[in-house]
Structure 1
Amino acid sequence: MEELLAQVGGTVSGGLQYVGALAELSGRAAYFTFIGPFRGKPLRIQSSVTQAMEIGVRALPILSLITFFIGLILALQGAYELRTFGALNLVATAVALGMTRELGPLITAILVIGRSGSAFAAEIGTMKVTEELDALTTMAIGPVPFLVTPKFIAMIVMVPCLTIWANFMGILGGAVFGVAEADFTVGRYIQASLDALFLRDIMTGLIKSLMFGVTIAAIGCHEGLSTGAGAEQVGRSTTRAVVMSIFLVVMVDVIFTAIFFFMGPQ
């Protein structure tokens, strides 16, 4: 029994230390983003733009395809039950709310984890193994302002933007079913979706996506900076970054969903 309690305590303690390390790294990146420029520490704008292109623009084709089919699947699944109650006209409402509140931000985050979160860990991990980080430190260039901050900026800008696009493509995917099977026109389907949405529904998803972006950037960079010696450790850091990012994104999703639920209209 004592051994079990010791293991549980060690796991909880390790988890809290990990979250604390992520919070510290995020705080330092936020400092160099919002306060540093006013204290003579300029942002690396070109690097941030490059990262934003990689995170956002190059992810658009695959994100569009995935969320389009997710919207179509939502419409098909919703219509399966709604048809029983003669409420097929509510398909547009179900798809719009499902995408904007939950699936749009979550699918976007998972895609960004696979494309960019893992890349952050691999890039920084390789730099550590090849002692490039030591060279930067020798030249009085901090890894956080030089490497982490541009990624942090790109994430907090592009993940909400990608989420907006994912929501649109999901609604468009649902419109395919609505026009084919539910006697909607494209214009009427889009209007029904807009009528179903309130500003709080859209803002809920965007706030989640912002927090997802911060979480993904922090974990990817933290795992890269924590990489051990040897090429094998780079692979382990990359794998750990993906696993921990998915886990903590889901945890953040649960926390914010609960907050918005209890803060919503009673």
Structure 2
Amino acid sequence: MSEQTIPAYKRWFEETGEQVSFFTAFFRNVFRGGFEWSEFVRQCYEIGYKSITLVGVTSFIMGVVLTLQSRPTLVKFGASSMLPLMVCVSIVREIGPVITAIICAGKLSSGIGAELGSMKVTEQIDAMDVSGANPMQYLVVTRILATTFMIPLLTMMGDVIALFGGFLAVNLADSTSWTLYFNKCINSITFVDLLPAFIKTIFFGFAVGFVGCYKGYNSNSGTESVGKAANSAVVNASLWIFFLDVLAVQITQLLFY
């Protein structure tokens, strides 16, 4: 029976089972001896350092646009002094983590999926397996842990840059000192804002790495599957980010409010 004739619900169950198997294989190899620290550090450099420019530019523009769009409404209600507070809470709680994760899904998931997909279809992964190496530990574990570790750091950096962009945008119409602006920002942030936002970025990072590795590692229909793996990785990682964000909001509401 060809893939086209298999009912959609059966394909969904089959893929879900494959993802669960891939997930368990990942965790088995995390705790197995011989962890590839050098490859992990290299992946942190490739994933984190080489994404700083994209995340920084996007975050800066995001802070400027959010401030400029919000200011007229607050001025109408005589609440322009609340602008730093509103921008800071919006960025730290929601916009910063989600936008950064979506950017990383587009850049990293597609890259990981294409890289592992090309290695799969050219039988490089099979060659590693035959030679006694552990491709799951060397290729998959290091990439997933690197995205899990680096995306929260990129998010924190992006939040700071976005707030700096907001400061510049505020001063386009008003004259607000650096000290006053950031004092208002810092005073508006609480533990309830910071902790859930940081924790969900860890899950965002895991989802970005896991989906990219799964799609690439399971490419098996020729060179055409490399492009499909990259495209599917971006779509699925983005959907997982939105799903995890909704789940995080609901859990935060239950625990802290």
**TM-score where L is the length of structure 1:** 0.88
Residue 179 (str. 1) matches residue 176 (str. 2) = no
Counterpart Cα distance in 2 of 1:71 and 1:236: 34
Give, in whole Å, the separation in 1 of the partners of 2:10 and 2:199: 29
Does structure 2 conserve the Cα–Cα contact (< 8 Å) formed by 1:121 and 1:241? yes
Which amino acid letter does the alignment assign opposite residue 255 of structure 2? M
TM-score using structure 2 length = 0.91
AA aligned opposite 2:239: F
Match of 2:126, as an amino acid? D
2:224, 2:107 → 1: CA distance? 20
Tell me which residue corresponds to 1:120: 112
Equivalent position of 2:75 in the other structure: 83
The answer as to 2:188 corresponding to 1:191 is: no
| Counterpart for residue 37 of structure 2 | 45
**Residue 233 of structure 1: CA displacement?**
1.1
- How far has the Cα of 1:225 moved from its partner? 1.5
How many angstroms does 1:181 deviate by?
2.2
Alignment of 1:179-258 (within 5 A): 179-258=171-250
Aligned-residue CA RMSD in angstroms?
1.7
> In 1, are the aligned partners of 2:26 and 2:141 still within 8 Å (CA)?
yes
Shift of 1:19: 4.6
Query: Is this contact kept in 1: 2:102–2:238, CA < 8 A?
Result: yes
> Which consecutive aligned stretches of 4+ in structure 1 deviate over 3 angstroms post-superposition?
10-24
What amino acid is aligned across from residue 22 of structure 1 in structure 2? Answer: Q
Write the mapping of 1:40-189 to structure 2, written as runs, cut at 5 A: 41-189=33-181
Partner residue of 1:4?
none
2:18 corresponds to 1:26: no
**Aligned residues with identical type, % of pairs:** 26
- Amino acid paired to 1:215: A
The unaligned stretches of length 5 or more in structure 2 are 1-6
Which amino acid in structure 1 is aligned with residue 23 of structure 2?
A: S
- Please report how far the alpha carbon of residue 155 of structure 1 lies from its aligned counterpart in structure 2 after TM superposition: 0.9
Is 2:121–2:220's contact at 8 Å kept on the other side of the alignment? yes
Task: Answer yes or no: is the 8 Å Cα contact 1:89–1:182 preserved in 2.
Answer: no
Contact 1:179–1:186, Cα closer than 8 Å, also in 2:
no
Q: How many residues align?
A: 251
Q: Which whole-Å CA distance do the structure 2 matches of 1:16 and 1:259 have between them?
A: 27
Residue 3 of structure 2: aligned partner: none
Is the 1:25–1:218 Cα contact (8 Å) retained in structure 2?
no
What do the CA deviations read for 1:203-251 (whole angstroms, capped 9, x no partner)? Answer: 2211111001111111101101121232111111111111111111111
Distance 1:105 1:20, change over 3 A: farther
Pair 1:229–1:136, CA change in 2 (3 A) = same
Q: Which amino acid aligns with 2:83?
A: V
Deviations 1:138-195 (A, max 9, x none): 1232321121011012111100000100110111111112233243211111111000
Name the amino acid aligned to 1:255.
Answer: L
